[in-house]
Structure 1
Amino acid sequence: MPIARADFIEGMAKGLAVLESFDTERQRLNATLAAQRAGLTRAAARRHLLTLAHLGYLETDGSHFWLSPKVLRFSGSYLASARLPRAIQPTLDRLAARTGEAFSAVVLDGDQVVIIARSGPTRLLAYGLHLGARLPAHATSTGRVLLAARPRAEFAAWLRGRELPRLTAHTTTDPRRLREVVAQVREQDWCVASEEHELGVHALAVPLRNLEGRVVAALNVVTARDRLLPPTLQRDLLPLLQEAAREARPLL
C-alpha cells in the first residue's frame, strides 16, 4: 500500500531487508553477504545485524549471523490470528482424512507462494509441506493458479524481465511458455504441475474464492506416489478439490 514519504520509516525498511536476506540458500550471513543481499553498505548491514542480534532475532558467533527461534513469533501470531488459515483448516483436515493425502492452502507473495495451512501425512518431502514454506510461483500448481487470478496486464508486468530458475529438467523457464500455461489455467480454473519443482512430485491446485468472487488463496494436493500420477490426480482428486473450494467459499 503506497504511503506518504513522511510516513515511511527507512530504518525499519532496511532492518527488515536484512532480516529477509536470510533464506534456505543462505542460512548464515556475515556483514558483507547481508549487505549484498539487502542492498546496503557493509557498515549499515553490520549495524542492523548487531541490532537484530541484540533484540534476539539473530544469533551470532561474532562473525556470522543466523535466525533465532524468536522470528517464529511473527508467523505464530499470523497463524493464530489470521482468519483465512483458521477458516480453511477444517476443510483441509476433512480432505486429508478422506484420502490420506497431503493438502495445503497457499497464498502468493511476490515471486513465491507461502503455505498458510496444511493437513495430511507428516512425511517430509523436499517439496516443502510445512507451514510457512516458500516455493517458486512459476514452478508450482498453486503459484500458477494464483498468477492466473491476476488481471492479464498485472500478470504481464509480473512476468516482464523476470528470471524463471530451472529446478528440474521439467521446469518451465521460458516466459512465453509460462504465459501459455497460465492462460490455460485461467481458462480451465485448475492446474497440475508435474515434477517441475521436484522430481517425482506431482501437484494439483484450484483457486479459493470468497463470496465476492475474488481469489484469496489456492487449495492443492501434493503426492510423490506413483499411483497418483497427473491423470489420476485429475480424475480422482480434482472433483474433491473443486467441491471443497465451493463449500469453503462462504467462509472466506
Structure 2
Amino acid sequence: MTIAKPDFIEGIAKGMAVLESFDTERQRLNATQAAERAGLTRAAARRHLLTLAHLGYLDTDGSSFWMSPKVLRFSGSYLASSRLPRALQPTLNRLAALTQQSFSAVVLDGEEAVIIARSMSFDAPTRVLAYGLHLGARLPAHATSTGRMLLAAMPSAELAQWLKGRTLARLTPHTVTQTSVLRQRLAQVRKDDHCIANEEHELGVQALAVPLRDMRGRTVAALNVVLSGAHRSDDALRRDVLPLLYDAAREVRALL
C-alpha cells in the first residue's frame, strides 16, 4: 500500500524497524546491534528500544534487549481474526490424522515464507528443526517448497523485482544460491503446479507444496507437507502424497 508523504509517521516506521530487528538469528540485541539492523543511529535505536521496553514489548537487563510475550498480541489477534488460518485449520487437521505427517499453510511476506496455520500429528516422531515450524515462523522463501510455490505465482515483473540484486543464503550444500538457477526452478514449478524441495532448507528434510487458489484463480497461500527421516524419491512423493494435497486445495478453494 502506498500513502501520501504527509500521512507517513516516520517515528512509527522506525520503531517497527527496531522491533523487526529481532529474529531467530538474533534474539538479543544491544543498541549498537539494533541500530545496524534497523538503519538508525545508535542514539535513535536506544530511544526506541527503551520506549518499547517501557511499553512492555521488550525485556532488558540494562544493556541487551529481547522480545517479551506481549508481542504475541499481534500474532494472536491475526490468527483469531483472519479468515484464512481459520478456514484452513480443519483441512490441515484432517490431513495430519490421515497421514501422520505435518502440514502447514504459508503466505509470502517479503523475502520470507510465513506459517499461518499448522498441524502436526501426535503419532508422528517429533523432530526439532533448526528454523522451527511453529505458527508465525518465518522461513527463507528461496529454499522452501511453499516459498518457491508462492514466488512462482508472482507476475513476471514482480518476480524480477524480487530477484533483482538479491543474495540467496546457503542453508545446506543443496540450497540454490544463484538467482539464474532459482529462476529456472521457479519456471518448472509454475509448469508443474507443485514444488518439491529436497534438503535445501535443512538436511534430512523434504517438503512438497501446492498452491492454494481462491475462486478467481489467485494464489493466496501455499500448502505443504514436511517429511523427515527416510528419503523418498520425487516420483514417490508425486504418486503417494501429491494427490492428497491437490484434493485438499480443491476442498478449501471456495473458502478462500
The corresponding residue for 2:112 is 112
User: What secondary structure does 2:29 align onto?
Assistant: coil
C-alpha contact (below 8 Å) 1:202/1:230 kept by paired residues: no
Aligned residues: 252
Q: Choose from 147, 169, 186 the match for 1:143.
A: 147
Instruction: Determine whether 1:162 maps to 2:183.
Output: no
Alpha-carbon distance in structure 2 between the residues aligned to 1:191 and 1:167: 18
Alignment counterpart, residue 223 of structure 1, candidates 197, 207, 227: 227
CA deviation after TM superposition for structure 1 residue 112, in Å: 0.5
When structure 1 is superposed on structure 2, of 226-235 and 188-197 the one drifting more is 226-235
d(CA) in 1 for partners of 2:130, 2:185? 24
Aligned partner (choices 123, 129, 135) of residue 133 of structure 2: 129
Which residue does the alignment assign to 1:37?
37
* Structure 1 equivalent of residue 12 of structure 2: 12
Q: Which residue of 2 aligns with 1:92?
A: 92
Structure 1 residue 73: deviation in Å? 0.5
**Structure 2: which 5+ residue stretches go unaligned?**
none
Deviations 1:108-147 (A, max 9, x none): 0000000000112362322522101110000000001000
Residue aligning to 1:79: 79
* Matches of 2:210 and 2:32, distance apart in 1: 42
Of residues 198, 202, 205, the one that matches 1:198 is 202
Secondary structure of the equivalent of 1:53? helix
Which range moves more in the overlay, 229-238 or 211-220? 229-238
Check whether the contact 2:204–2:231 (CA below 8 A) recurs between aligned residues.
Answer: no
Q: State the Cα deviation string for residues 165-200 of structure 1 (Å, max 9, x = none).
A: 100000000111000000000111100000001000
**Map of 2:238 onto structure 1:** 234
The one-letter amino acid paired with 2:42 is R
**Distance in 2 between the 1:182 and 1:46 partners?**
42
Aligned residues: CA RMSD: 1.0
Amino acid of the structure 1 residue aligned with 2:245: L
Quick check: 1:202–1:223 contact (8 Å CA) kept in 2?
yes
TM-fit CA distance, 1:227 = 5.5
CA distance in 2, matches of 1:105, 1:149: 15
Residue aligned with 2:222, SS = strand
Matches of 2:231 and 2:144, distance apart in 1 = 20
Q: 2:249 aligns with which of 231, 237, 245?
A: 245
User: What is the identity, as a one-letter code, of the residue corresponding to 1:78?
Assistant: Y
CA contact (8 A) 2:145 2:208 kept: yes
**CA deviation after TM superposition for structure 1 residue 232, in Å:** 2.2
Structure 1, unaligned runs of 5 or more: none
Alpha-carbon distance between aligned partners in 2 of 1:210 and 1:10, rounded to the nearest angstrom = 35
**SS of equivalent residue, structure 1 residue 226:** coil
1:251 & 1:69 partners in 2: Cα distance? 32
- Bigger mean CA deviation after superposition, 236-245 or 114-123: 114-123
Q: Distance in 1 between matches of 2:220 and 2:161?
A: 20
